[in-house]
A = this chain, B = another copy of it.
Amino acid sequence: MTGWEAHCTLCPMIQNSETYMEMALLEAQSAAERGEVPVGCVIVDGDSGDVLARAGNRTEELDDPTAHAELLAIREASSKAGSARLTGCDLYVTLEPCAMCATAISFARIRRVYFGAYDPKMGGVEHGPAIFAQPTCHHSPEVYGGLHESAAAELLKVFFRERR
Near B by CB (< 8 A), chain A positions 64-80 give: 64-67, 71, 74-75, 78-79
Instruction: Give A residues with C-beta under 8 Å from B.
Output: 59-60, 62-67, 71, 74-75, 78-79, 81-85, 98-104, 107-108, 121-124, 127-131, 134-137
Jot down 24 A-B pairs with beta carbons below 8 A, ordered by A.
A59-B84, A63-B79, A63-B84, A64-B75, A65-B74, A65-B78, A65-B85, A65-B104, A65-B107, A66-B66, A66-B71, A98-B103, A99-B99, A99-B131, A99-B134, A103-B103, A103-B124, A121-B136, A123-B136, A127-B136, A128-B134, A128-B136, A129-B129, A129-B136
The residues of B that contact A108 with a CB separation of less than 8 Å are 65
By secondary structure, the A interface counts as: loop
Q: Which of B62, B124, B137 contacts A79 (CB 8 A)?
A: B62
Are B63 and A81 closer than 8 Å at their CB atoms? yes
The residues of B that contact A101 with a CB separation of less than 8 Å are 100
